[in-house]
Every structure is written in structure tokens, then in C-alpha cells.
Amino acid sequence: MVNVVGFDIGGVNIKGAFVIYSSSNEYTLKISSKFYPMWLHNPVELPELLEGIIRELAGKNQIDAFGITLTAEVSDAYYTKSEGVTHVLTTFTKMMPRIPKKIISSYNTFLPLQDALDDYMAVASANWVATAMYVGKKFPNCILMDIGSTTTDIIPISKGLPNTIGKTDPDRLMSGELVYTGALRSTIPSITHKVPVQGKPSPISFEKFALVADVHLLLNHITEKEYTCDTADGRKKTRKDALARLARVVCSDIDLLSESEIYEIASYIYERQLNQISEGLTQVLKSREEYDLTVPVVVTGLGRDFLARKVAETMGFKQIYDLRQELGLEGAIASPAAAIALLLAEELKVS
Amino acid sequence: MVNVVGFDIGGVNIKGAFVIYSSSNEYTLKISSKFYPMWLHNPVELPELLEGIIRELAGKNQIDAFGITLTAEVSDAYYTKSEGVTHVLTTFTKMMPRIPKKIISSYNTFLPLQDALDDYMAVASANWVATAMYVGKKFPNCILMDIGSTTTDIIPISKGLPNTIGKTDPDRLMSGELVYTGALRSTIPSITHKVPVQGKPSPISFEKFALVADVHLLLNHITEKEYTCDTADGRKKTRKDALARLARVVCSDIDLLSESEIYEIASYIYERQLNQISEGLTQVLKSREEYDLTVPVVVTGLGRDFLARKVAETMGFKQIYDLRQELGLEGAIASPAAAIALLLAEELKVS
């Protein structure tokens, strides 16, 4: 039996996964996810938060290893990536010192903690590698689309391994493999600069009056419970408050715009967001000859159905697999954490 | 002698102007400006803040009237415009009850406070009316461009009065008369979705990693002192911190991008912002036959030179006047407050 805790330390959410891998090749998977906008918190809280997640997931079970990945270094809680990687990883150094800690790298390997500190760019924002390597075991040639609260990863997988042009976030942005749009936190001006108001295109305000979570709530893509980030105005996650937030985007309010007029705005924003993701996927497809519309697309993350699947279907892909079938709903929403735990458990089991 | 305090109650800045108008038609003008993001504060603080500004401006001088305009009702501190106008205006009701309070309306009139409460849409976000009426006295046919920290007003003036298609913010957005971009607070994704990185276009993050104030600081358009809003990351207003913020926009940092590469990003964002404002001005020009490139353009606000004048010059306008020459630097930056005070003082002086 091998027990591993996987961590995906994002700048906005911290996700943990606990895997108990039995000798008969069966496993149980338990997930914990905390909304934790890094730049709003004091970094000294981090050890306590991580210990809480470990207790919650593993209880009194023995832990054989920690698998870790992070994207938090991108957040402006840190001045540079170097500072961010160093802070997050050294937070782990003192934690349960006898248990080995392995960090996944963009070279498809697990690095011991000190090696990761020495080569910080190899582990910075490499959480997509974990999911891709896990998915590659089942679908050796496929395109993985992981759409979380914040970002979209579009990862071509060849011969079981991620086959991306970009290895770092800036390079992945450039190659279309990272599309900075997600299921919850995207701001409206990052999706479109105009929306239809009473049939005519209107420019919008740049204020953070609403988030795309309001759009997806109104369009029944997510429930209030799945709206796990803070609202833009600090008000509730109800339909009525979401309507009020979206009306403000064009400097209006719910006295001046009808519900159906606001739904028209929501539908348009959704359409534009699908378009942004399509552009990334098209760029990824164009940059490699070996893929066509017959390649399987594996979708995961909170936006796997209403964003990833929708884009893949619209573009004409024939085979679309939902990673939820493998990892369960919670595992799919926290796929990098689940994938790291499963990959590391398997590695330990074999060795 | 007539003494008037003018207030421009924005959602982000509260500006006050004190005018002492002598019988010989000379005046002195004193300005006070406070950065006060309405949605971060408890509205109960508002009376104290306003009283402080009045004390600072008028001292022991007698005050004959208050001239008031507001845009704060657009901010999400308020659920609807109705709630916002009501709250701001009723804050004034108990304040120095013997002194009359007049609110400027989008029908070019001063309304007594109770009338303004009864017809809240007539006074909502009408601060541009004050500046336009003031400018119209000197330039009866012109185009006024007021570019503040947050927004751009493009107001055609005919026969001394504002001659806009839109009267409310949503309608002015639609007509190009309100362009929601400004000299400090605009977010980068509201200006452009791509920037050049090492010569190639890169998509950007939607996070509030930087503001256009960082761009204008780096390009020497504003000083650290003129950078009056909060920074996006809570760090300093130095050149070095601005570089770090702009690097994050493409998920990079100052270890990975050189200064000149970040300046290339800044210059591109500036160019796109000029383009946004040009589009508004072009729309305003196209919608009325009586204007051509010989009409005077009057520029005011913090962005009057590096944004408004630059756009007007590039479009080929021949006569460009800086309202700073009339109102002084502080008065130009707080032109709605200065204009209201001057207009009301003149009205009281005549009547």
C-alpha cells in the first residue's frame, strides 16, 4: 500500500488530494480545495493552512510522500517567480521532515525539493505536466483541455507525454497552450470590450463590476456552490445579485435593464469566451501536423463541460472524454493535485 | 462677493473647489482632492470626509452655496443608481442646513436638493455638464475632452451648451461621448488583449497585475505624485515596481524580461489607449455634421496632454486649448468641481 498527498498550490486556490493505492492496483482518492487568494493573505498563514488540509485528507493514515506543484509564484504576492517558488517550497521543508517531497517539473520528472529550489524555472507553474502525464497513460495521443476557475490549459499529448511548444507560462501564453481565461474569475473586459445592449453594441466599463462566474451562474453552467471565488462586489451569489453586477458592466442597473436584456449580455460574453478558447485550440492544432479532428480530446476542470467540451464539439472533434469518469467530480475539478498524487503513488509502488 | 464650494463626488475620488468671486469679476480658486474608493469604505464616513474638505477649503470664510455633482452612484458601493444618488445627496441634507445646495442636471440647470432626489436620473453622473457649460462660455462651439483618472468625456458643445446624444452614462457609452478609459486606473485587458513580447504578440493575463498608471509613469507622462490611485499590487509607485507589475501582465517577471522589453509593452499599451479614445472622438464627429477639424478642442483633466491633446493632434485638429490656462493645474485636474463652483457663483452673483 502506498499513501500520497498531492498539492496544487495555486495563487487563488489550494487543492490537496490524498491517494491510498492498494497492492491490488486499486485506489481511493480524497480531495480538499480551499479558496485562498494568495495576495490577500499573509504568507505566514500558509504552513497552518497546509497542515489543516493534510489532517483533513489523511487523518491518522501514514503518508509515504508529498507530490507538489505550484502556480502561486505567478501571483503578485511575490515580486518574482524566483521569490514565489522559493517561498512556497521552503514552506514545505520543515513540514513533516521525514516524509519525502517531490515536485513535478516541466521535463516530466519528479524533483526532490532541494533540486526544485535550485532549478526554480523547471517547476514554476508546471501543474499542467502532472495532469498531462496522468492522462497520457490512458490516452497516449490526445489533446488535454483543463479549464479551471482562472485559466485554460490546452496540452497536446504524444506517446503518453506532454508535447508542448511552451514550457513556462509566458511561452505557453504565446503558443496558445495557456489561455488566460477560466470558468469563474475572468473579468469581463478580458473577454470582450463590447456587449449588446438592447440590440446595439455598447462599450463597457473597465471596473471589476462582474466576473464571468456571474455569466455562468445566470446561464446555469454553475451552481451557487460551484461559484467558489469571491463576488466582484462582495454581495451574494444569487441570480438577482449576478444580474445587478452584469448590468453595471455597461454603467447601467437593474432598474434600467430588464432581465432578458441582461441575459442577452451574458450569452454574448459566453460566446466570446468560447471564441477565445477556440483560438487557443486552433493555434495548438495548427502548430503540429500530427493532430486532426479525429484525435481524442480529454476535458477536465470546472469548465470541462460548458467551455472545453463545447469548444471541442463546435470545432468538430469526434471523441471527447470527460476526466470526471476517471477521477470523479471532485478529482476532475482538482485534476493537477489528483494527478500528482496518483503519479507519485504509482512511481513509489513500482520502485 | 460670492463664495461657493463645489463638490464632485466620484466613486473613486472626491474633489472639492472653493471659489471666492469678487464684485469686480475676479475670483480665487482653491482645490482639494481625496482618493476615496467608495466601495472600500463605509458610507458613514462620508459626512466627516466632506466636512473636512469644507474646512480645508473655506476655513472661516462664509459659504453662500454648495454646488454638487456626483458619479459615485455608478460604483458598486450602491446596488442601483437610485440608491447611490439618494445616499450621496441625503448625506448633504443635514450638513450646514442653512446653506443652499444645488445639484447640476443633464438639462443644464441647477436643481435644489429635493428636486434632484425626486428626479435622480437627471443628476446621476452629470459632472460633465458642469465642465461643458463652463467651457461653453468661452468656446461656444467646441469639443471638450476631459480625461480623468478613470474616464474620458468627449462633449460636443454648440451655442455654449453641451450638445450630446447621450444624457446618462449608459447612453453616453453607446454614443462614444463617454469612453471608459482614463489616465490612471484603466486595467490592461480593458485596453488590449495582446502586447508585444520580444517582438511577437503575446496574449495577456486578466489579473489586475498592473494599471495604465504604470504605463504612464514609465513613459514619463505622470510623476509618482500624480499617480494618485492605489497600485495594483500594493507595492510602491517607483519605476522598478511599475516594471515588475507590467512584466506580470504576460505572466513574466523582471528576471525574464529586460527593461527595454517592458518599455516596448508600455508603448504599445499607450498606443492602443490613444486608439480607444480616437474611436470615441471619431464616433462623436461622425454623429454630427456641424463639426470638422477646424472646431476648437478644449482639453482638461489629468490626461489632457498625453492623451486628449495627443489624440486631437493625431486626428488633425488645428486648435487645441488647455483648460489649465483658465483654471490652473489643480483646477484642470478637478474641472467638474471647479466648474460647478464657478458656474454657481456666477449665477448667484447675477441674480
CB contact, 8 Å: A40 with chain B?
A: no
| Closest CB from A170, A187, A244 relative to B256 | A170
- Residues of chain A with pLDDT > 70, as a percent, come to 100
In a domain, B80, yes or no: yes
Residues B173 and A201: their CA atoms lie apart, in Å, by 10
Residue A9's pLDDT is what? 97
Q: Which of B257, B274, B291 is the last residue of a domain?
A: B274
Q: Would you tell me which residues 59-78 of chain A have a C-beta closer than 8 angstroms to some C-beta of chain B?
A: 74-76
Residues B88 and B202 in one domain: no
Residues A205 and B191: their CA atoms lie apart, in Å, by 11
Q: Is residue B115 within 8 Å of residue B124, measured between CB atoms?
A: no
Residues B342 and B228 in one domain: no
In a domain, B243, yes or no: yes
If one counts every other C-beta atom within 10 angstroms of the C-beta of residue B109, the result is 14
Residues B60 and B134 in one domain: yes
Grid coordinates belonging to A162: 506532454
Contacts of A350 (CB under 8 A, 6+ apart): none
Residue B44's pLDDT is what? 80
Confidence of residue B350 (pLDDT cuts 50, 70, 90): confident
Return the SS3 of B281.
helix
In a domain, A283, yes or no: no
Residues B242 and B341 in one domain: no
Q: Would you tell me which residues 230-249 of chain A have a C-beta closer than 8 angstroms to some C-beta of chain B?
A: 232-235, 244-245, 248
Residue of B nearest to A78 (CA): B233
In a domain, B250, yes or no: yes
Look at residue B42 and tell me whether its pLDDT is greater than 90: no
If one counts every other C-beta atom within 10 angstroms of the C-beta of residue A321, the result is 19
**Contact call for B190 and A186, based on CB within 8 A:** no
If one counts every other C-beta atom within 10 angstroms of the C-beta of residue B47, the result is 13
pLDDT, tens digit (0-9, with 9 covering 90-100), for B248-295: 999 999 999 999 999 999 999 999 999 999 999 999 999 988 899 999
Contacts of A245 (CB under 8 A, 6+ apart): A209, A210, A211, A214, A231, A232, A233, A235, B76
Look at residue B24 and tell me whether its pLDDT is greater than 90: no
Residues B207 and B343: their CA atoms lie apart, in Å, by 42
Instruction: Pick B54 or A349 by higher pLDDT.
Output: B54
H helices present in A139-232, as ranges: 169-175, 212-218
Look at residue A185 and tell me whether its pLDDT is greater than 90: yes
- CATH number (domain holding residue B249): 3.30.420.190
Residue A23's pLDDT is what? 79
Nearest to B143 by CA among B13, B293, B33: B293
CB contact, 8 Å: B253 with chain A?
A: yes
**Contact call for B251 and A205, based on CB within 8 A:** no
What mean pLDDT comes out for the span A42-68? 94
Average pLDDT, chain A: 96
- CATH number (domain holding residue A95): 3.30.420.40
If one counts every other C-beta atom within 10 angstroms of the C-beta of residue B154, the result is 27
Place of cell 482614463: B182
CB contact, 8 Å: B287 with chain A?
A: no
Confidence of residue B43 (pLDDT cuts 50, 70, 90): confident
What mean pLDDT comes out for the span B85-111? 95
Residues B211 and B221: their CA atoms lie apart, in Å, by 14
Residues B20 and B89 in one domain: yes
In a domain, B8, yes or no: yes
* Phi, psi torsion values for A3, nearest 5 degrees: -115, 125
Q: In Å, how far is A159's CA from the nearest CA of chain B?
A: 29
Nearest to A3 by CA among A93, A96, A91: A96
In a domain, B18, yes or no: yes
Residue A38's pLDDT is what? 86
pLDDT, tens digit (0-9, with 9 covering 90-100), for A209-219: 999 999 999 99
CB contact, 8 Å: A153 with chain B?
A: no
ipTM of the complex: 0.95
CB contact, 8 Å: B205 with chain A?
A: yes
**Contact call for A202 and B178, based on CB within 8 A:** no
Residue B289's pLDDT is what? 86
In a domain, B341, yes or no: yes
Residue of B nearest to A72 (CA): B251
pLDDT, tens digit (0-9, with 9 covering 90-100), for B203-238: 999 999 999 999 999 999 999 999 999 999 999 999
Residues B87 and B207 in one domain: no
CB contact, 8 Å: B40 with chain A?
A: no
**Contact call for B233 and A179, based on CB within 8 A:** no
Confidence of residue B149 (pLDDT cuts 50, 70, 90): very high
Look at residue B202 and tell me whether its pLDDT is greater than 90: yes
Look at residue B167 and tell me whether its pLDDT is greater than 80: yes
User: What residue ranges in chain B does DSSP mark as E strands?
Assistant: 2-9, 13-21, 27-35, 65-70, 101-104, 110-112, 142-147, 152-158, 161-162, 178-179, 194-197, 200-203, 297-300, 320-322
Residues B118 and B227 in one domain: no
* Phi, psi torsion values for A287, nearest 5 degrees: -85, 0
Residues B134 and B193 in one domain: no
Residue of A nearest to B74 (CA): A251
Residues A13 and A115 in one domain: yes
Place of cell 480607444: B276
H helices present in chain A, as ranges: 46-58, 81-93, 113-118, 120-123, 127-138, 169-175, 212-218, 239-248, 259-286, 310-315, 324-333, 335-350
Q: Is residue B3 within 8 Å of residue B335, measured between CB atoms?
A: no
B170 contacts on A by Cβ (under 8 Å): 197, 202, 250-252, 256
Residues A13 and A132 in one domain: yes
Q: Which of B254, B274, B294 is the last residue of a domain?
A: B274
Look at residue A42 and tell me whether its pLDDT is greater than 80: no
CB contact, 8 Å: A187 with chain B?
A: yes
**Contact call for A174 and B252, based on CB within 8 A:** no
Q: Which of B274, B298, B317 is the last residue of a domain?
A: B274
The domain tally of chain B equals: 2
Residues A132 and A257 in one domain: no
Residue B23's pLDDT is what? 79
| Closest CB from A79, A202, A252 relative to B244 | A79
A149 contacts on B by Cβ (under 8 Å): none
**Contact call for B251 and A125, based on CB within 8 A:** yes
Name the residue range of residue B87's domain: 2-138+334-350
Residues A265 and A247: their CA atoms lie apart, in Å, by 9
Look at residue B124 and tell me whether its pLDDT is greater than 80: yes
Question: How far is residue A331 CA from its own chain's centroid?
Answer: 12
A193 contacts on B by Cβ (under 8 Å): 190
Look at residue B117 and tell me whether its pLDDT is greater than 80: yes
In a domain, A287, yes or no: no
Contacts of B104 (CB under 8 A, 6+ apart): B67, B68, B69, B110, B111, B123, B126, B127, B129, B130, B133, B340, B343
CB contact, 8 Å: B81 with chain A?
A: yes
Residues A135 and A193 in one domain: no
A197 contacts on B by Cβ (under 8 Å): 170, 174
B246 contacts on A by Cβ (under 8 Å): none
